[in-house]
Amino acid sequence: MNRKILLLAIPNIVTNITIPLLGMVDLGLMGHLESAIYIGAIAIGSMIFNFLFWGFGFLRMGTSGFTAQAFGSRNLQEAARVLVRAVAVALGAGILMILLQFPITELAFLLIGGSPEVEILAREYFYIRIYAAPATLIMYALTGWFIGMQNARTPMILAISINVLNILFSLSFIYFVGMKSDGIALANVLSQCAGILLSLLFLQGYFKKLKKYFNWREAMNWQAIKPFVSVNKDIFIRTLCLIFVLSFFTTESAGSGDTILAVNTLLFQFFYFFSYFIDGYAYAAEALSGRYIGARDTLQLKRAIRLLFFWGFSLAGIFTLIYGFGGDFILGLLTNNQSVIEASQPYLFWIFLIPFVTFSAFLWDGIYVGATASVPMRNSMVIITIVVFLPAYYLLREPMGNNGLWLATMIWLAARGISLWLLSGRAIYARGVMR
């Protein structure tokens, strides 16, 4: 079982690590320009896309869960149908985002604070990057499908290729063309489009086995698609709560001035960096829990969960040591702006808490996704966001300032893992025998 976990987790970790490295490169490029407003522009522009794209995270998570269960029950016909549904939804949603780009930005900047200078650059960033929407969402669907088919190697190759291209484009546009935050946006568009072309090459191998099962009419039949829509609706609501908290964090940071916005943006990269490592095990959890629930193998399901938490706990310990001894060094790589570095010092200790506070929530998320146990996952997230996070922040904001924002966020992250663990008996383990 350890071998199965690592064969899924390690490629997914390699896949995921390219994403925060890309974010760090982008922030590093902006952090070495003449003003902190470029960091703020990337932060706010990325936040808007996080809201848009993460809202469609169900295209990866829901696709992964349904595909893994089809794989476990050896139902190739259903695996093919899931792929068709996911890609169709992704393409339609991406086109709709492009058509609605202007009302989206107007609404976004009504809700987001920040200086006029930052807003101008963030708008410019948005109007370029929005054209990557169809390609980005289709890649979500394809990644989830490959993971559900117990194939972590292909998403790894695709992600590395896309993000290496993105970094090369960004460097070229900034250092050779003279672009700034707009160059970061254009690099994203070109690399995502290249990723779609590359993914078609990898899908050819599956077409030989699955082409006889591809049937648009059957795949999009309402009775067949209803469970897919229902589960993805729940994941969408859960993801909206996640986006709300992370966007709230950025918005409140922006309301405290450009310096605090830059500080919190840089420090939160430590959360993202760890999340993409632990998400490798979460993706393995999706594939394995879905597989064993599809096969109705409760003993293997329980064994997989125990070992996943062993690996997650070990990874959290390693990252705590890395952040404890190397936090200042990593921060220095992200920016050479001394005023931002100095302003970060009173808040640096929060990054040491991130690994152990968060790893449980990531693993349980993966397990719930693989089990397509979307209702308890949705309910848990809604409750802790409304009952835990918001009261904690408004109680702590006045006496603790920016530290209060960090503490409320940490409490929320811990509550996610605890609540999912408490619900796991009925939501997860029973599903191995109750289908």
The pLDDT of 23-28, averaged and rounded, is 68
Identify the residue with better confidence: 7 or 362: 362
* pLDDT for position 373: 85
* pLDDT for position 431: 59
The domain ranges of the chain are 2-432
**pLDDT (tens digit per residue) in 341-372:** 888 888 888 888 999 999 999 999 989 988 88
pLDDT, averaged across the chain: 83
Neighbour count for residue 100 (Cβ, 10 Å) = 13
**pLDDT (tens digit per residue) in 243-289:** 889 888 888 887 777 778 888 888 888 888 898 889 889 988 988 88
Going by the DSSP 8-state scheme, the letter that residue 33 receives in this structure is S
Determine whether 75 is exposed, middle or buried from the number of CB atoms within 10 Å of its CB (0-12, 13-18, 19+). middle
- For the ranges 92-96, 119-123, 174-178, the maximum mean pLDDT occurs at 92-96
Round to whole Å and give the CA distance between 199 and 141.
11
pTM: 0.74
**pLDDT (tens digit per residue) in 197-230:** 998 888 887 766 666 666 666 656 666 677 777 7
